[in-house]
Structure 1
Amino acid sequence: MPQTEAELEQKLIARLTGLGYESVTLRNAEDFKANLKTQLEKHNHIELSDTEFKSILNHLDKGNVFDRAKRLRDKMELRRDDGTTFYLEFLNTEHWCQNQYQVTNQITQQGKYKNRYDVTLLINGLPLIQIELKRRGLELKEAFNQINRYQRHSYSADNGLFQYVQIFVISNGVNTRYYANNRKQEFKQTFYWADQENNLITQLEDFADSFLEKCHVSKMICKYIVLHESDKVLMVLRPYQYYAVEAIIERVKDTDKNGYIWHTTGSGKTLTSFKAAQILTQLPKVHKVLFVVDRADLDYQTSREFNYFSPDCVDTTDNTRQLVTQMAGDSSLIVTTIQKLNRAIKSQRHETAMEGLKDKRIVFIFDECHRSQFGETHKNIVRFFTKAQMFGFTGTPIFADNAASNQHGKRTTRDLFQECLHKYVITNAIADENVLKFSVEYWGKLKRKDGTLITEPKLDREFFENPDRISLIVDWIIANHNRKTHGRKFSAMLCVSNVDTLITYYETFKNKQKQGLHDLRVITIFTPSDNEEDEDANGLIGEPDFNISTDTSSRSHSRDKLNEFIADYNQMYQTQHSAKDSQAFYAYYKDISKRMKDRDRENFQDAERADILLVVNMFLTGFDVKKLNTLYVDKNLKYHGLIQAYSRTNRILGELKSQGNIVCFRNLKENTDQAVALFSDPNANEQIFIEPYEYYIEEFNQGVQELRAIATIPNDVNKLINEDDQVKFVKAFRNLIRLQNVSKSFTEFSFSDLNLDEQTFEDYKSKYLDIYDKTRSKPDDDKESLVEEVDFELELIQRDEINVSYILKLLANLQRDRKTNITSEEYQSQKASILELIGKEAQLRSKRDLLEKFIEERLPTLEPEEKVETVFQNFWTQERIEAIEQLCIEENLNVEAVNQMIADYKFSGKEPLRETVLSACNEKPKLLDRKKIFARVVSKLLDIINKFDDALGELGEEE
């Protein structure tokens, strides 16, 4: 007999009590609160009256998860019954082992639904770790989805104490993951724990021993959860990040030696170094911590994060005096650029101010310490600060094999920083699913218009810069860009060898756009130069240079072109950038950085999107954008330059982004293999690159057999009454859409290679979405559904181009045909096809009843002079008004207030506040009803917005 969930639960509780947790039985909210009172009394060595405890509950029941995480770490100024003040502590963060630990299970809470939670770990009576279990063999994602459901339905009940959870743990016994309490993340943002050598600890029993041990889990909560101020979410460090920070702290505490951290690109080095800097400032023997970045990396996001932690610690100006003032002042953490630091210690004018720091214990943390210019600065720092201790972070260390020679000789990362304190290479990150694999295509597939292949000659600059060759490459990108970026849901970068080539590329794209051959948004940035011989073949990606020369040398041509391209950018995005001087140029650079990064944010507007960022060297290192999935390469990359550039594409983001796409228009196969061997393992190719096209086709066709065994034809899905059978079908078809998602990114993809024709695939998809709709629309009093726990991964099957606007064009064409010569049967057939299409598109399904109503009731009555789009807009507006009026009747709300809440949400993307919703009520709700009314109204508001405002497309009149 396989182990049941209950057995798994009991074994875990036994394990935890063996680790020193006190086992308690808490069946309901009253038990829970009584226990909280007892534990707070015990922790604070105090007796609380009922009145005092009530004020504590009121204090705790405020704000969202982020607000509560802050409150947990603060003390409460408790006004006692006798008039005295007591500072009540909820969590001892300084001595994290000195807290009270309990374990309980099957706590029941009644929110929108009645839910029972598997295993809860209490610290000082508050539920800080929640563990959800599934029996062996079930998908871990089901536990993740269950927690999401609890968050929606019941965590806000009973004073919202479960919103104090800091860490979630999900396990099916064999696999166990943890993650911070952050509703904005997906399953892929959950992590395995590991040992110091990156060996995963997946079994629940082993995980309990290593991660849930009282002192360790407290340390994770007190020291290694980051309160991300700008996004207002919690983040928890992954195991390799934890070990790196611990190694740096130990080295500073016990030695005066330097060290470096080798964590592969994309693994979150900036978060690790941020946390290290934060903890080091708290050590009494450390005078200051300087976090040093290249100016190119000190973008708006880094600045904002560090300034939230330590106000005014970041100064992004070129004014070195500001840095010197900070150095001499009380700031314990300073974020500065490598360029400004070098000026501060070399300039005679700052000598007096800096003199007092020479013999102080200052810790330097260098982000991306592989930067080639670091050699000279390193010497200056060592010479000036006699007690400096330096730590470097890099994803691609400099070894003897990839070191460039300069006036200092060949210098490696080890020469500068001594010992590697922790290592986490790209193969570790891929195995842990912390970064994606790469799909690399080489340019041999590039064809002339007559169909003949172009073969690459020896490396010949004249050949590579030939405008005809570049025109062919641009044609290839235009033809394949949508395929690579999933219909432009992601952006791409195109890196080229030098400025002249970049200009040719940009103007080729621009000319083809004028000819109506594409509507891609291509933006670019480069430093005007004399265009010397291409130096990138040495493997180093050149440093971004923001100094704009105003001389009249041979740079004037490229400077004129830069100004012209910036003017295009200004016209596209209604900005006012220029390259009149270095400061203006840097502002343009930061705007591009922000534009690309902001695409990751929830409220990003598609009108601000850029499709292709065209560069020589800029943005090829240290630039993290989740919504970037493709890199086009026409540049000689080697060693760490190659890995750095490729790694722009492999940040994890949901199911749709299945790999980072690299398209090489030069033969970089040998260089790629060398780079992989140097930075991971000579035999690591299979772990780093996705399988060939044929592999996914074979897997897909095998999946078709498994699907047919469950439902031979699409209509057989209707016969799957049992929920277990429905789950089998959902998982089998989900496997096919995952495989199709990867396969379609290959240039050679064709449906004819699959053992399932496109129409049948679409029919199965329709049945798949029917099951999704049924599970999401069940009444509130329904029992829990097995199917509801399954992740349908709808992002894999949405096609944004099939929106309401698209449907209206089809209807307009149908009306036009009806006036001419099609028969009644043909008209009905075309109308049925349109209705079927509405049913298949995930984002139109919420609108299906209204669209069908328009087609069945209003379309047949159109007068010859009436335009479909105009009539539809009137129909849609009226239906929307009626839906809002109906909501106001059902909930007794003020119509104007509801319209204002909808308008505010459409502008900001933020749900209305509780006070805003309650003030819209015509009658003030009872205190006990307010939470339910708030949740219900917000849900209905979002339904209206989803139904009437999302996925409309451009609703304009017919031409």
Structure 2
Amino acid sequence: MTRRSPSTQSEAALEEQLMAQLTTLGYDRVTLPDEAALLTNLRRQLERHNGLQLSETEYQRILNHLDKGNAYDRAKTLRDRMQLQRDDGTSTYVRFLNTEHWCQNEYQVTNQVTLEGSYKNRYDVTLLINGLPLVQIELKRRGVEMKEAFNQINRYHRHSFRAARGLYQYVQIFVISNGVNTKYYANNRRQEFKQTFYWTDAANQRISKLQDFAREFLEKCHVSKMICKYIVQHHTYRLLMVLRPYQYYAVEAIIDRVKNSRKNGYIWHTTGSGKTLTSFKAAQVLVKLPEVHKVVFVVDRKDLDYQTTREFNEFSKGSVDGTDNTGTLVTQLADDTKLIVTTIQKLNTAITGSRYEERVAHLRDKRVVFIFDECHRSQFGDTHQRIVAFFTQAQLFGFTGTPIFADNAVAGQGGKQTTLTLFERCLHKYVITNAIRDENVLKFSIEYVGRYRNKEDGNEVALDIDVEAIDTRELLDDPGRLEKVTDWIIANHGRKTHQRRFTAIFAVSSVDNLIKYYELFRERDTTGLRIATIFSYTANEEDREADGMIGEPDFDNDGPANVHTRDRLESFIEDYNRHFGTSFTTRDGKKFYNYYKDIGKRIKDREKDTASDDDRVDILLVVNMFLTGFDAKLVNTLYVDKNLRYHGLIQAFSRTNRIIGEVKSQGNIVSFRNLKKATDEAIALFSNPEAKEVILMEPYEVYVQRFNEALADLIELVPSPEAVDRLLTEEDELSFVQAFRKLIRIDNVLTGFSEYDMDDVAIDLQTFEDYKSKYLDIRDKVRTEAKRNKVSILNDVDFEVELIHRDQVNVSYIIRLLTNLHTAKEQDKAARRQEITTRLNNEVQLRSKRELIEKFIEQELPRVGKQGDVEQEFTNFWSAERQRATVQLAEEEQLSADGLQGLIDTTLFNGREPSQAEVQAVMTVQPSILRRTSILNRVQQRLAELLERFYDDM
């Protein structure tokens, strides 16, 4: 068992080393042991920063002003000025942060601040700016997972950040480090560990050692700049975001280009790396520059016009006026609107012809900055030349994840145009290998499926034949083949999407084949798959199969329609309407476009806490739509039955590789075509020829080997599940938790392979389940002891139970187990009872309900008649127990019964735990100020336990 070497640097030594370094960087070291000292220091620093003296009553007014809202609200307060009513009747403005001249603030560093909320916590290192704690650094000794520091901060959120007038809710950036590795992230309780970032230099070289990170990132002016310029307030979700290093360098490069030249440039950031956030921040900074007249953000399709406008407004409400028609665009160009989002088609209309010429002519010599989203599509044609010719003083900046090079350029009237020839210079590059290394996107797992019989000699050949070398169209469109592909997807979809927790996109070669596939799913699926589809139905629609590129969707339905395809699509939309209660149609252009938006929103909104399983789309069947520009984290699989090449291939694959949680370990690509050569070419073009090992997952056999190696390590530590009970120390238990967690991480990857068979690994299912039960026993023990505020090295370990969470474990599953027990023959009852006991121990969802289910079995089930209704009796029992527990909670915590039920109903509806203010509002007796935080935290904890026991999966 691994033990810490006595020579390993301790956490205390690491902390002291950092404190000493920060003082050399210009921070004043202060000692602030408790809340009183923190508040006294804040008063002195605000007086110093604002050049005034505050009376006690004036300072209390400031504290009352600061002590409002959550971290999102306080971020706004931090950046605003407060109008302070002075004791003599005059007023003045108090500034909490100088955001325009960010280096001109007051800087301090302290450590071991102790605050007491529901529990007493000590924070490692705090950076104060003007007396407010704006950067919090949590350290772990070398060798400890940084995730434990992340979890520790989450514990502080629950326990004590609300203490001391909630000053620690003003933290903008958290830093976690074990000395060797260091990461940062914004104050956002909704994010996961995977949304923490390493800092790098401009060439994407990681700066991970704490000493180096402190020198580069925590330097006073730089960290202030990050807080003042590069924190983004997301309006819709009411949370903070901070730019990643490559986003920071890209924005800085664009600003430098605008300030110091009139030249153009482009940003090459791989698909999935957050270009919308980068471009928004660039636009937000550029509109404030006095030399810039307007910023125009240009997209090339209506779906991105909608999506980008929505996302810009999410980052800052009202920051963008979306344009529905060219007339509105012209009005915005003519008035004082500083930031405009529009399509390249409408922009082209606005600057050509005589209709709008007089209204926009004044812009010819104005400094207008254009930002082109996905410029690999939007900037190749006559429109680019028109824009350059009309706006003589314009600067053009492009964002792309897949630039156009000579190899993937399409010849036009002026020959082959590349991104470089149009935008002059790449200002910053962050390619897919960088993103995978930084864990900002996932690797791809590519599975080639299918075997075909050669008609001439009758021999079977694998799918990875060079289908481009022979005429295979007849084979690929053969109805028998389409049936087999459909059957394969139906059989394997649950495995690929973790029992439909994720959505898949199915990209096919033509509208005709799409129609055939949809009808095959209708006929052959008996598993209840929810299939949605959309395609363009204009009469002159062309199949882009010849070159493997992704065509653009057509929403301009003024042209003649292909009657057959339109009628079929109308039928498919009727299926959608029946299932989801909508009323879309192809007979109305606006309703058709709204149908497109509804599909995208429905898939994307699965990420929200409020998402309902009734709104689930399992497979989205498309030809070209949604294969570029569509970002949904809960899409994890792409089925492919069409040719793809170069940027079209990378764009389509990248629909699957957004990061969310531990369960989504890779983007699954299932290809029913030979795309191996095309994939190798695309990877070589957009990263380098040796990048396959970085971008693609290893073969199935490699993960089987890794599983068995991890299993051997586990067995060496604990030879049997029973041996876990004999572990003597918490260090031993931690070693077991880490060893078994490694096993379930690999198992999670293995289950995504269609060939996965547990016979391939060196453990049987029952033994695996027994180890899992012991693993969950330790987790439950840690949770129980944490409620008693017992300090343990296991407190901040992430058990990652989502990796062993089963979606099918719900009330129906429980009823089935109970019914099987009730109707079993007498000689079989003991075995059935043991089965239930095993399930209660092994299933994450059932452990909180174990005591109640056992109570039902012992007390109620024997009274159910032989033909009795187990389901009805269990429902009655569950309702009574739930009511009893709710009444007990209300009485013991002095809560209004109606108010408590309202909190429960609201939580179930919106998926958000009630705030302390909401809990306090339903209390019939208000707690004292000294005990308020601890009491409210306790009530929140008890309410969460009640919800988990009686409502989750029920």
> Kindly tell me: are residues 183 and 313 of structure 1, through their superposed partners in 2, closer, same or farther at Cα, counting changes over 3 Å?
closer
Shift in Å, 1:854: 0.6
Which residue pairs with 2:166 in the alignment?
160
Task: Find 1:409's aligned residue among 387, 390, 415.
Answer: 415
Task: Return the alpha-carbon distance in structure 1 between the equivalents of residues 215 and 921 of structure 2.
Answer: 50
Superposition pairs of residues 307-456 of structure 1, within 5 angstroms = 307=313, 314-316=320-322, 318-371=324-377, 374-444=380-450, 455=463
Q: Does structure 1 conserve the Cα–Cα contact (< 8 Å) formed by 2:539 and 2:560?
A: no
The answer to whether structure 1 residue 295 and structure 2 residue 301 are counterparts is yes
Which residue pairs with 1:823 in the alignment?
826
The answer to whether structure 1 residue 474 and structure 2 residue 486 are counterparts is yes
Task: Return the alpha-carbon distance in structure 1 between the equivalents of residues 319 and 171 of structure 2.
Answer: 31
The answer to whether structure 1 residue 838 and structure 2 residue 840 are counterparts is yes
Superposition pairs of residues 592-611 of structure 1, within 5 angstroms = 592-611=599-618
Q: Does structure 1 conserve the Cα–Cα contact (< 8 Å) formed by 2:322 and 2:341?
A: no
Shift in Å, 1:936: 2.5
Unaligned runs of 5+ in 2: 1-6
Shift in Å, 1:409: 2.3
Unaligned runs of 5+ in 1: 953-959
Superposition pairs of residues 161-560 of structure 1, within 5 angstroms = 161-298=167-304, 301-307=307-313, 314-316=320-322, 318-371=324-377, 374-444=380-450, 455=463, 458-513=470-525, 516=526, 518-530=527-539, 534-549=543-558, 551=560, 555-560=562-567
Which residue pairs with 2:700 in the alignment?
693
> Kindly tell me: are residues 451 and 90 of structure 1, through their superposed partners in 2, closer, same or farther at Cα, counting changes over 3 Å?
farther
Task: Return the alpha-carbon distance in structure 1 between the equivalents of residues 519 and 414 of structure 2.
Answer: 41
Q: Does structure 2 conserve the Cα–Cα contact (< 8 Å) formed by 1:442 and 1:667?
A: yes
Shift in Å, 1:416: 1.2
Task: Return the alpha-carbon distance in structure 2 between the equivalents of residues 122 and 451 of structure 1.
Answer: 74
Amino acid at match of 1:146: Q
Alignment RMSD (CA, Å): 1.8
Shift in Å, 1:380: 1.2
Task: Find 2:60's aligned residue among 54, 59, 64.
Answer: 54
Task: Find 2:746's aligned residue among 735, 739, 742.
Answer: 739
Which residue pairs with 2:43 in the alignment?
37
Task: Return the alpha-carbon distance in structure 1 between the equivalents of residues 35 and 379 of structure 2.
Answer: 61
Which residue pairs with 2:3 in the alignment?
none
Q: Does structure 2 conserve the Cα–Cα contact (< 8 Å) formed by 1:548 and 1:585?
A: no
> Kindly tell me: are residues 804 and 447 of structure 1, through their superposed partners in 2, closer, same or farther at Cα, counting changes over 3 Å?
farther
Amino acid at match of 1:466: D
Which residue pairs with 1:868 in the alignment?
870
Which residue pairs with 1:788 in the alignment?
795
Task: Find 2:646's aligned residue among 639, 642, 650.
Answer: 639
Q: Tell me the SS of whatever aligns to 1:777.
A: helix
Task: Find 2:944's aligned residue among 921, 942, 945.
Answer: 942
Which range is displaced more, 433-442 or 305-314? 305-314
Shift in Å, 1:309: 6.1
> Kindly tell me: are residues 869 and 453 of structure 1, through their superposed partners in 2, closer, same or farther at Cα, counting changes over 3 Å?
farther
Q: Tell me the SS of whatever aligns to 1:349.
A: coil
Which residue pairs with 1:708 in the alignment?
715
Q: Does structure 1 conserve the Cα–Cα contact (< 8 Å) formed by 2:376 and 2:404?
A: yes
Task: Return the alpha-carbon distance in structure 2 between the equivalents of residues 645 and 440 of structure 1.
Answer: 13
> Kindly tell me: are residues 785 and 120 of structure 1, through their superposed partners in 2, closer, same or farther at Cα, counting changes over 3 Å?
same
Task: Return the alpha-carbon distance in structure 1 between the equivalents of residues 155 and 358 of structure 2.
Answer: 61
Superposition pairs of residues 799-948 of structure 1, within 5 angstroms = 799-817=806-824, 822-824=825-827, 826-948=828-950
Shift in Å, 1:828: 1.4
Which residue pairs with 1:142 in the alignment?
148
Task: Return the alpha-carbon distance in structure 2 between the equivalents of residues 473 and 789 of structure 1.
Answer: 46
Q: Tell me the SS of whatever aligns to 1:371.
A: helix
- TM-score, length basis structure 2: 0.96
> Kindly tell me: are residues 54 and 485 of structure 1, through their superposed partners in 2, closer, same or farther at Cα, counting changes over 3 Å?
same
> Kindly tell me: are residues 163 and 919 of structure 1, through their superposed partners in 2, closer, same or farther at Cα, counting changes over 3 Å?
closer
Shift in Å, 1:540: 2.7
Task: Find 2:105's aligned residue among 99, 103, 121.
Answer: 99
Shift in Å, 1:898: 1.3
Amino acid at match of 2:385: K
Amino acid at match of 2:505: M
Shift in Å, 1:942: 2.2
Task: Return the alpha-carbon distance in structure 1 between the equivalents of residues 409 and 639 of structure 2.
Answer: 26
Task: Return the alpha-carbon distance in structure 2 between the equivalents of residues 180 and 453 of structure 1.
Answer: 53
Which residue pairs with 1:581 in the alignment?
588
Task: Return the alpha-carbon distance in structure 2 between the equivalents of residues 172 and 51 of structure 1.
Answer: 43
Amino acid at match of 2:158: R
Which residue pairs with 1:654 in the alignment?
661
Q: Does structure 1 conserve the Cα–Cα contact (< 8 Å) formed by 2:381 and 2:412?
A: no
Q: Does structure 1 conserve the Cα–Cα contact (< 8 Å) formed by 2:300 and 2:378?
A: no
Amino acid at match of 1:535: R
Amino acid at match of 2:644: L
Q: What does the per-residue CA deviation read over 1:293-323, in whole Å, with 9 as the maximum and x for residues that have no partner?
A: 1234436553234335676564555421111
Shift in Å, 1:779: 5.6
Q: Tell me the SS of whatever aligns to 2:848.
A: helix
Which residue pairs with 1:18 in the alignment?
24
Q: What does the per-residue CA deviation read over 1:486-515, in whole Å, with 9 as the maximum and x for residues that have no partner?
A: 1111110000111101111111111113xx
The answer to whether structure 1 residue 726 and structure 2 residue 733 are counterparts is yes
Q: Does structure 2 conserve the Cα–Cα contact (< 8 Å) formed by 1:52 and 1:81?
A: yes
> Kindly tell me: are residues 829 and 125 of structure 1, through their superposed partners in 2, closer, same or farther at Cα, counting changes over 3 Å?
same
> Kindly tell me: are residues 880 and 269 of structure 1, through their superposed partners in 2, closer, same or farther at Cα, counting changes over 3 Å?
same
Q: Does structure 2 conserve the Cα–Cα contact (< 8 Å) formed by 1:224 and 1:242?
A: yes
> Kindly tell me: are residues 352 and 372 of structure 1, through their superposed partners in 2, closer, same or farther at Cα, counting changes over 3 Å?
closer
> Kindly tell me: are residues 897 and 115 of structure 1, through their superposed partners in 2, closer, same or farther at Cα, counting changes over 3 Å?
same
Shift in Å, 1:447: 11
> Kindly tell me: are residues 582 and 551 of structure 1, through their superposed partners in 2, closer, same or farther at Cα, counting changes over 3 Å?
same
Task: Return the alpha-carbon distance in structure 1 between the equivalents of residues 453 and 11 of structure 2.
Answer: 57
Which residue pairs with 1:956 in the alignment?
none
Q: What does the per-residue CA deviation read over 1:114-138, in whole Å, with 9 as the maximum and x for residues that have no partner?
A: 1111111111111100001111111
Task: Return the alpha-carbon distance in structure 2 between the equivalents of residues 225 and 476 of structure 1.
Answer: 46
Which range is displaced more, 528-537 or 65-74? 528-537
Task: Return the alpha-carbon distance in structure 2 between the equivalents of residues 445 and 717 of structure 1.
Answer: 47
Shift in Å, 1:656: 0.6
Which range is displaced more, 899-908 or 775-784? 775-784
Q: Does structure 1 conserve the Cα–Cα contact (< 8 Å) formed by 2:511 and 2:565?
A: yes
- TM-score, length basis structure 1: 0.96
Q: Tell me the SS of whatever aligns to 1:336.
A: strand
Q: Tell me the SS of whatever aligns to 1:814.
A: helix
Shift in Å, 1:694: 1.3
Q: What does the per-residue CA deviation read over 1:894-918, in whole Å, with 9 as the maximum and x for residues that have no partner?
A: 2122112211221222333544433
Which residue pairs with 2:690 in the alignment?
683
Q: What does the per-residue CA deviation read over 1:123-181, in whole Å, with 9 as the maximum and x for residues that have no partner?
A: 11111000011111111111111111111111001100000000000001110000001
The answer to whether structure 1 residue 126 and structure 2 residue 132 are counterparts is yes
Amino acid at match of 1:592: I
Q: Does structure 2 conserve the Cα–Cα contact (< 8 Å) formed by 1:292 and 1:364?
A: yes
> Kindly tell me: are residues 859 and 884 of structure 1, through their superposed partners in 2, closer, same or farther at Cα, counting changes over 3 Å?
same
Q: Does structure 2 conserve the Cα–Cα contact (< 8 Å) formed by 1:404 and 1:538?
A: no
